[in-house]
Amino acid sequence: MADKQDSKMRVAFVSSYPPRECGLATFTQDLVQATKAASSDIDVKIVAINEAGGLHRYPSEVVHRIDQGRPETYVEAARFLSRQPFDVVVVQHEFGRFGVWDEYLRRDDLAPFLDELSKPVVTTLHTILPSPHPTVKAATLNAINKSQAVMVMAKIGAIMLSEEYNAPSQKIVYIPHGMPEIQPSGRRRLKAELGIKERTIISTFGLLSPGKGLEYAIQAVARIVEKHPDVLYLIVGQTHPDLLRYEGEAYRNRLQRTVDELGLNDHVAFVNHYLDKKEIVEYLLASDVYVTPYLNRNQITSGTLTYALGAGKAIVSTPYIHATEVLAEHRGIIAEFRSSESLANSINFILDSPAEQDSLEKNAYRYGKQMAWPLVGRDFATLLRRVVAGQPVTYDSGDPYRLIKDDAA
């Protein structure tokens, strides 16, 4: 038994982790599970980044904790990892999890962590800013230079790192944001189970925060119901825990006031709880149109958008970075930022044309199924093996950011 365990590759992930409720935690858990499923010779442990004052019953794979906001605990975690027999450390990087930042980086907690760590590192960059502030650029380049490989989840992110950050392209690997394997069927049955079988469903899911632009989608519904009076817009998900901690339900209350003022209580509904994956998929499959009216032009990944592609949905989105990439080639419709009129026109265009809706759904599903977690897990396992073996991680011709395939994967 000992010999079998010794033959495994030992991997430590550093990230927020469930039961902490945030997108990064969910992504990390999904990636861990997909990687382990893809390769039985990988053993994974977690160093969990815990929010200030947070108390969680972490699963047994969590072997150490970092207290977010206390810089010394990042260094302590690096020392812990350096003493353990890990072959590689995987950092899931968001600036807010590794320091303090707004328009520029006020404190970088990743740099001292990497300085103290004596293990090979693979870093996933969840935020890549175009035209970055010098402090952001310096912190990002430092992370790249001290990592053996860097994973990005949008091809444009890889291009930005090479061209704007002058990062070494041979370290940068594009692996898409994963999503569950979904069969795009059951819309009528799921509508009936949810008690909305006679409605045309528009939906958005995820943790609520002002950056989601939901007020513009609600205002769009006021225009849409003039042509499609059976429309119901479902806003599915609880308020982001960080926002809830500091201002309570102020944002949700503002949205509800907008619904009241526009007389849309029969056409907008809130589903206010944290969704498990099964619920997410069910709400998606029940939807006729999925919308991401997000406000941050620089958003480079969106798990909710990835899920919607995988579910084969007709999608309307504002033109943030991830959306413009994955919704190209008629996989979705791009609306203007902060424009309820543009959102309404785009959604009405889909609802007015069943053939258009069908075409968008098929194109989305065809693209999205390439990002299923089993495929992502296989590629990430390959990346880890190559880093541990000291081998090249990307092609050097053709598509320079795609992973070199591993026949053993």
Per-domain residue ranges of the chain: 2-178+372-389, 187-370
Residue 273 pLDDT class (50, 70, 90 cuts):
confident
Span 167-222, pLDDT tens digits: 998 999 999 999 999 988 889 999 999 999 999 999 999 989 999 999 999 999 99
Residue with tokens 């870093």: 123
CA 136 to centroid of chain Cα atoms: 20
Span 102-129, pLDDT tens digits: 767 788 999 999 999 999 999 999 999 9
* Fold exhibited by the domain 187-370: Rossmann fold (3.40.50)
Residue 2: its pLDDT value, please? 40
We find that the CATH architecture of domain 2-178+372-389 is: 3-Layer(aba) Sandwich (3.40)
Contact, 209 vs 243, CB < 8 A?
yes
Contact, 122 vs 383, CB < 8 A?
yes
Token digits of residue 259: 């619904």
Nearest alpha carbon to residue 174 among 150, 202, 139, 205: 150
Given its phi and psi angles, is residue 195 left (phi above 0), alpha (psi -120 to 50 degrees) or beta? Answer: left
Contact, 316 vs 361, CB < 8 A?
no
- Judge if 2-178+372-389 and 187-370 fold alike in CATH terms: yes
Contact, 281 vs 184, CB < 8 A?
no
Sequence-distant (6+) residues with CB within 8 A of 242 are 22, 51
CA 316 to CA 319: how far, in whole Å? 10
User: How does the average pLDDT of the chain come out, rounded?
Assistant: 92
For the cut 50, the answer to whether the pLDDT of residue 409 exceeds it is no
Give CA angle at 352 (289, 367), nearest 5°. Answer: 40
For the cut 60, the answer to whether the pLDDT of residue 357 exceeds it is yes
